[in-house]
Chain A
């Protein structure tokens, strides 16, 4: 998962919803929410995990279509490693 990103996208109208469904439909993505692209609707947050090789393309598509988005996880592998860091930090404290 090194370099993979999770995008947070909020389509603001039905046209953006259709564009987003179309973009994501042509990429192999892992939707975190909603569970499936058919459930994407306006003003509802879409969190999507995108492979490293596809991130630049998605950035470009979203900018080109003026769809509001942000990146809430910029390197997924780093976050995976952080998730289970509590055990070692507790040991260090004790």
Chain B
């Protein structure tokens, strides 16, 4: 693990072999399992991070790499695991978090798309599924959840980047995550999805302008998270309901998670705001992940206090 370079981007094969290595060498804190298979048959791996316990612990879900071209996402998920394990011995906050919570980390949600963006088309964002009626491939996995189906901010045309799929959960990747979260929804108290490009921390709703019932708690958690993030390098993140902070959309995984009873559902839009676009240089992996780590720890610590 010490040999692994967390400050460069990695191919899917490298990330998966890193996961196996983590599972093998850090077995006191790490467990690895597959929740299903992608459209192209690749396993959908999840790491469970946390101290083993006899009783069922509450949990936090983090997924990265929903959109293939946002490479900083998988880099952050790996960073999170590395930091959690390395700081467990000396950082009391991390120790408390890992002792009392489990973190389910899915470093690459859209495995087929991520592989495709590495090998063929750097700016691919969708999955790689194919509808037999059309020649275009892929679905925007974050618009494939059963929220407000395929309305504003989504497309029902398979050639579009925001194509929402033939029906909700038509993508095996989305179906697998939804099934896992439904199964564990009593224990999963926070859902976090990592994206890029806007420097924002968003929470439901994204499909309507109404305020969520537990707005005050979620707003406070978001405020604490962006404050913690700012404390690292002075980078400001906007935060708020996705509909008013970013734009109203057909709904995404955060809306789905919230509707399914997960009270804290967030989408991070990591660096940057358009200077590098989707081509965030490797030299910025470290600061981006360092500050985001603080934000995620703030959310999880707030959860524990609750």
- A residues adjacent to B (C-beta < 8 A): 1, 6, 8, 30-36, 38-39, 41, 45, 47, 49, 72-73, 79-80, 82-87, 90
Contacts and interface: CB of A to CB of B under 8 A. Distances in A.
Contact of A86 (B154, B161, B162, B282): B282
* A interface majority secondary structure: mixed
A38 B152 contact: yes
Contacts, number: 71
A47 B277 contact: yes
B122 interface: yes
15 contacts: A30-B123, A30-B161, A31-B161, A35-B249, A36-B161, A41-B247, A45-B274, A47-B274, A72-B275, A73-B277, A83-B280, A83-B281, A85-B282, A87-B8, A90-B8
A80 B277 CA distance: 11
A79 B276 contact: yes
A32 B70 CA distance: 11
Contact of A84 (B9, B152, B247, B276): B9
Contacts of A41: 247
B7 interface: yes
A35 B153 contact: yes
A86 B152 contact: no
A36 to B, nearest CB: 5
A73 to B, nearest CB: 7
B56 interface: no
Nearest to A32: B277
A67 to B, nearest CB: 17
Contacts of A38: 152-153
Contacts of A47: 274, 277
Contacts of B140: 35
Query: Which residue of A34, A39, A47, A86 has the most chain B CB atoms within 10 A of its CB atom?
Result: A86
A29 B249 CA distance: 20
Nearest to B273: A45
Contacts of B197: 32-33
Given A6-B277, A39-B247, 20 more contacts: A1-B123, A30-B123, A31-B161, A33-B274, A35-B153, A35-B249, A39-B153, A47-B274, A79-B276, A80-B279, A82-B281, A83-B9, A83-B280, A84-B8, A85-B282, A86-B7, A87-B5, A87-B282, A90-B5, A90-B8
B274 A85 contact: no
B19 to A, nearest CB: 20
Contacts of A85: 281-282
Query: Which residue of A31, A32, A49 has the most chain B CB atoms within 10 A of its CB atom?
Result: A32
A36 B126 CA distance: 14
Contacts of B8: 84, 86-87, 90
Nearest to B140: A35
Contacts of B278: 32
B181 interface: no
B160 interface: yes
B267 to A, nearest CB: 13
Contacts of A6: 277
A37 B154 CA distance: 10
Contacts of B92: none
B198 interface: yes
A84 B282 contact: yes
B163 to A, nearest CB: 10
B274 A34 contact: no
Contacts of A90: 5, 7-8
Interface in B71-121: none
